[in-house]
């Protein structure tokens, strides 16, 4: 039993040990590049363990009713570890020990989230996922705008936690259990109190995922953070929250009223996010509004009734997270001075062709252009929704997705346009 416990939770234990090692490296004043090496090596070891478990069809009830390992949780943990590894590989050794400690703690929280079958570990995981982000936004920055962005994120994330806990308390009062299965049963057939419990839990997670109109924290938080932090929040944190939604509603048939609400929120998120991103002159704010639109695509998968909801969201979070990190890392390589003005990209292909091509591929994948991975992520979601007799919402959302092409293609055009010639006065 002890051996199975350690094997089932090996990725979490590896990250926990990594945090201790990183703290020791900071105390001993070891160069930060070695911290990055430790992070990459540990993440590789955790991925190897998960691939072994996946290949063997491994499953285990580590703490029955609280933490379990199955195929979905293994794949979800793989997605989160790959997003974290992409950040570690995409951004150089200039990051400090504290950055890697906080990033690892956030990744550990994400793993706890996707392995939870009870609300107690799920809530602990969500807070462990979110809390380091507050510190990361202000870390290494003495600007008041960073403090403002972190404070806004803190306040609205606290509201999300309060909504989440209120829903859990209503479910517990009705069922006498903190198991997610009991909440799902109450949501499906528990009357007004069960409906209220279900909607409050969903509202809390929608706020953390930046679904319209619960998105107000995202533009300020993304813009206030440094690019590595923005990449981490847009990939790891967002993916973990969306996969928590997938876990909660794994086989839950949503009522007609709930499906209607989710469809409306998804469509409005897609349209609003894409329209708001059109006029943004800065990359990080554009990425924030783009994330609102993508949150709409992701929750659109909740309308699925064919049983593909979890697999569709696994693909979507993986493709979206990795493309976002690639976009942020490529932008950082093209604009190493930290300026995120989109005008800084003008003519960059002439001097930095490789980074320009990578950024182009990343943003076109986010736009859903075939044959890039982002196209298949959207295809899987829309295919499942249409197969669930939701043709009209799918068509509206599909048309709304074309709005995103303008600003994504605009970034590509900036990279390949001719650089302005220097002016010579007095000639």
For the residues of 224-239, what is the DSSP string, one character each?
A: HS-HHHHHHIIIIIHH
**Mean pLDDT (whole number) for 153-178:** 88
User: Which pLDDT band, with edges at 50, 70 and 90, does 427 fall under?
Assistant: very low
Task: Tell whether the model's pLDDT for residue 419 goes beyond 60.
Answer: no
User: Which pLDDT band, with edges at 50, 70 and 90, does 423 fall under?
Assistant: very low
Tell me whether the omega of the peptide bond preceding residue 371 falls within 30 degrees of 0, making it cis.
yes
Task: Tell whether the model's pLDDT for residue 147 goes beyond 80.
Answer: no
Q: What are the tokens at 190?
A: 């528990």
Which range of 85-99, 155-169, 251-265, 408-422 scores highest in mean pLDDT? It is: 155-169
**Mean pLDDT (whole number) for 235-249:** 89
Cα–Cα dist 416/51, whole Å: 40
- Give pTM, 2 decimals: 0.90
Q: What is the pLDDT of residue 426?
A: 42
Instruction: List the single range of 17-31, 121-135, 346-360, 392-406 with lowest mean pLDDT.
Output: 392-406
**Mean pLDDT (whole number) for 325-336:** 88
Burial of residue 33 (number of CB atoms within 10 Å: 0-12, 13-18, 19+): exposed
Task: Tell whether the model's pLDDT for residue 50 goes beyond 80.
Answer: yes
CA nearest neighbour of 374 among 293, 305, 286, 276: 293
In 335-372, alpha helices (H) = 353-367
Cα–Cα dist 333/316, whole Å: 26
Q: Tell me the pLDDT of the chain averaged across its residues.
A: 85
Task: Tell whether the model's pLDDT for residue 51 goes beyond 60.
Answer: yes
Task: Tell whether the model's pLDDT for residue 370 goes beyond 80.
Answer: yes
69 sits in which H/E element: strand 67-69
**What radius of gyration do the chain's Cα atoms show?**
21
67 strand-pairing partners: 63, 116
User: Which pLDDT band, with edges at 50, 70 and 90, does 141 fall under?
Assistant: low
Q: What is the pLDDT of residue 425?
A: 40
**Mean pLDDT (whole number) for 316-320:** 91
**Mean pLDDT (whole number) for 393-397:** 82
CA nearest neighbour of 43 among 87, 99, 93: 87
Buried b / exposed e over 243-278, threshold 16 CB at 10 Å, is bbbbbbbbebebeeebbeebbebbbbbbbbbbbbbe
User: Which pLDDT band, with edges at 50, 70 and 90, does 19 fall under?
Assistant: very high
Percent over 90 (pLDDT), the chain: 23
Task: Tell whether the model's pLDDT for residue 226 goes beyond 60.
Answer: yes
**Mean pLDDT (whole number) for 109-119:** 90
Task: Tell whether the model's pLDDT for residue 402 goes beyond 90.
Answer: no
Task: Tell whether the model's pLDDT for residue 80 goes beyond 90.
Answer: yes
- Contact predicate 11/69, CB 8 Å: no
Q: What is the pLDDT of residue 145?
A: 66
Instruction: List the single range of 117-131, 263-277, 355-369, 405-419 with lowest mean pLDDT.
Output: 405-419
For Cα atoms 206, 208, 212, give the angle at the middle one, nearest 5 degrees.
50
- Tokens 């197969």 belong to 387
Percent over 70 (pLDDT), the chain: 95
Cα–Cα dist 210/391, whole Å: 25
What is the residue extent of each domain of the chain? 2-416
């Amino acid at each position: 039993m002890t051996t199975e416990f350690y094997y089932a939770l090996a990725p979490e234990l590896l990250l926990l040990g990594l945090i201790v090692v990183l703290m020791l490296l900071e105390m001993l004043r070891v160069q930060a590049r070695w911290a990055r090496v430790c992070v990459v090596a540990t993440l590789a070891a955790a991925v190897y363990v998960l691939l072994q478990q996946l290949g063997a069809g491994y499953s285990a009830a580590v703490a029955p009713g609280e933490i379990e390992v199955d195929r979905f949780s293994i794949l979800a943990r793989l997605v989160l570890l790959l997003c974290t590894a992409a950040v570690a590989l995409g951004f150089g050794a200039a990051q400090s020990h504290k950055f890697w400690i906080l990033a690892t703690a956030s990744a550990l929280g994400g793993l706890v989230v996707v392995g939870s079958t009870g609300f107690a570990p799920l809530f602990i995981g969500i807070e462990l996922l979110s809390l380091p982000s507050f510190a990361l936004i202000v870390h290494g920055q003495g600007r008041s705008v960073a403090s403002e962005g972190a404070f806004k994120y803190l306040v609205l994330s606290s509201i999300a936690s309060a909504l989440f806990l209120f829903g859990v308390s209503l479910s517990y009062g009705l069922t006498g259990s903190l198991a997610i299965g009991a909440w799902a049963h109450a949501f499906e057939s528990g009357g007004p109190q069960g409906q209220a419990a279900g909607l409050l839990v969903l509202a809390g997670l929608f706020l953390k995922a930046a679904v319209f109109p619960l998105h107000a924290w995202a533009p300020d938080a993304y813009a206030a953070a440094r690019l590595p932090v923005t990449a981490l929040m847009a990939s790891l944190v967002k993916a973990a929250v969306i996969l928590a939604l997938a876990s909660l509603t794994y086989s839950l048939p949503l009522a007609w009223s709930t499906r209607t609400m989710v469809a409306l929120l998804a469509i409005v998120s897609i349209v609003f996010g894409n329209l708001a991103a059109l006029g943004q002159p800065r990359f990080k704010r554009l990425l924030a509004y783009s994330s609102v639109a993508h949150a709409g695509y992701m929750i659109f998968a909740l309308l699925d009734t064919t049983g593909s909801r979890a697999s569709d969201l696994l693909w979507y979070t993986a493709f979206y997270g990795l493309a976002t990190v690639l976009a942020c890392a490529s932008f950082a390589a093209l604009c190493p001075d930290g300026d995120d003005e989109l005008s800084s990209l003008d003519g960059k292909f002439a001097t930095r062709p490789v980074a320009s091509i990578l950024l182009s591929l990343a943003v076109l994948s986010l736009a859903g252009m075939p044959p890039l991975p982002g196209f298949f992520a959207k295809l899987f979601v829309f295919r499942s929704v249409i197969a669930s007799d939701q043709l009209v919402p799918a068509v509206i959302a599909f048309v709304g997705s074309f709005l995103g092409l303008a600003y994504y293609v605009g970034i590509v055009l900036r990279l390949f346009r001719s650089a302005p010639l220097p002016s010579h006065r007095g000639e």
